[in-house]
């Protein structure tokens, strides 16, 4: 059984940032932030000075998902133009355009070793790509609605996808084989992430429910924990042993609310 201590913090406010949902990512060194935009571009900002470093242009529709490579040297953006694009962080130069999705690219992720990319799309598939060649390695099929969120396990051997079909799915990276369908969500599964020790898969839905599943061993797919936030989930990530949940419109004037789930242990 999973035991957790939940701490609800004050609402998060940042001058100049609208509470309207967008996709943002921090560089591994915490010095740069990358943000998506509805003007078909993504922007890099220096955190210390607040200076705009560069604008990444090339997409022909809204940019809705962004992330940094593990070493921070590359950027990945996903767009409603049905493509994902790989960029050089230092220069902003476009490196590759990943084409093939038949719907908007709602979610993007780098593998932990920085050799592969995973994209999720409105075409109900997730796709795995080789970074060096830009080649499509495999298509993950099975979801019956948009694939809204994707993640690699910390060791890169397992993939996790969340969908509007109210399920999340675990896949084997090497073969593309479906390992387990995580069922029980009452609404679209919009955020997925693995715990740092790879034992847990965390999935969140629009209704503010945070599900924790066994991700390894003979009981893979077993639900071991459930937390219900007061507001719609905007993002989720791990910080050390804490699962940090960002809830939309949870604080004063519509600013996000932060819930920190400290995991005490799992028997």
* HEC-encoded secondary structure of the chain: CEEEEEEEEEECCCCCCCCCCCCEEECCCCCEEEECCCCCEEEEEECCCCCEEEEEECCCCCEEEEEECCCCCEEEEEECCCCEEEEECCCCCEEEEECCCCCCEEEEEECCCCCEEEEEECCCCEEEEECCCCCEEEEECCCCCCEEEEEECCCCCEEEEEECCCCEEEEECCCCCEEEEECCCCCCEEEEEECCCCCEEEEEECCCEEEEEECCCCCCCCEEEEEECCCCEEEEEEECCEEEEEECCCCHHHCCEEEEEEEEEEC
Question: In this predicted model, which residue has the larger pLDDT, 212 or 168?
Answer: 168
Q: What is the tens place of the pLDDT at every residue in 107-140?
A: 999 999 999 999 999 999 999 999 999 999 999 9
Give the mean model confidence (pLDDT) for residues 144-156. Answer: 96
- Confidence check: pLDDT of 9 > 50: no
% of the chain with per-residue pLDDT over 70: 77
pLDDT band at 257 (very low <50, low <70, confident <90, very high): low
Residue 20 confidence (pLDDT): 43
| Average pLDDT value over all residues in the chain | 83
Q: What is the tens place of the pLDDT at every residue in 87-103?
A: 999 999 999 999 999 99
Q: What is the tens place of the pLDDT at every residue in 29-71?
A: 989 999 998 899 999 999 899 899 999 999 999 999 999 999 9
Q: What is the tens place of the pLDDT at every residue in 237-252?
A: 666 556 555 555 444 4
């Amino acid at each position: 059984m999973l035991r957790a201590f939940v701490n609800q913090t004050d609402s998060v406010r940042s001058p100049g940032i609208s509470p309207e949902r967008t996709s943002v990512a921090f560089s591994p060194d915490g010095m740069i932030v990358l943000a998506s935009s509805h003007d078909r571009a993504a922007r890099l900002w220096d955190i210390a000075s607040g200076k705009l470093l560069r604008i990444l242009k090339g997409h022909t529709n809204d940019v809705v998902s962004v992330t940094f490579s593990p070493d921070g040297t590359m950027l990945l953006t996903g767009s409603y133009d049905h493509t994902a694009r790989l960029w050089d962080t230092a220069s902003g130069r476009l490196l590759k355009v990943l084409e093939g999705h038949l719907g908007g690219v709602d979610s993007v992720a780098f593998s932990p070793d920085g050799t592969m990319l995973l994209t999720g799309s409105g075409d109900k598939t997730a796709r795995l790509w080789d970074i060096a060649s830009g080649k499509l390695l495999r298509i993950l099929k099975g979801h019956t609605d948009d694939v809204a969120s994707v993640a690699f396990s910390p060791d890169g051997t397992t993939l996790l996808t969340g969908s509007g079909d109210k399920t999340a799915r675990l896949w084997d990276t090497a073969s593309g084989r479906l390992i387990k369908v995580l069922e029980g969500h009452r609404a679209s599964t919009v955020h997925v992430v693995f715990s740092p020790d790879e034992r847990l898969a965390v999935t969140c839905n629009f209704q503010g429910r945070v599900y924790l599943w066994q991700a390894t061993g003979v009981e893979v797919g077993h639900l071991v924990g459930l937390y219900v936030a007061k507001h719609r989930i905007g993002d989720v990530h791990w910080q050390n042993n804490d699962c940090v949940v960002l809830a939309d419109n949870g604080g004063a004037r519509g600013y996000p609310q932060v819930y920190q789930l400290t995991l005490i242990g799992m028997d």
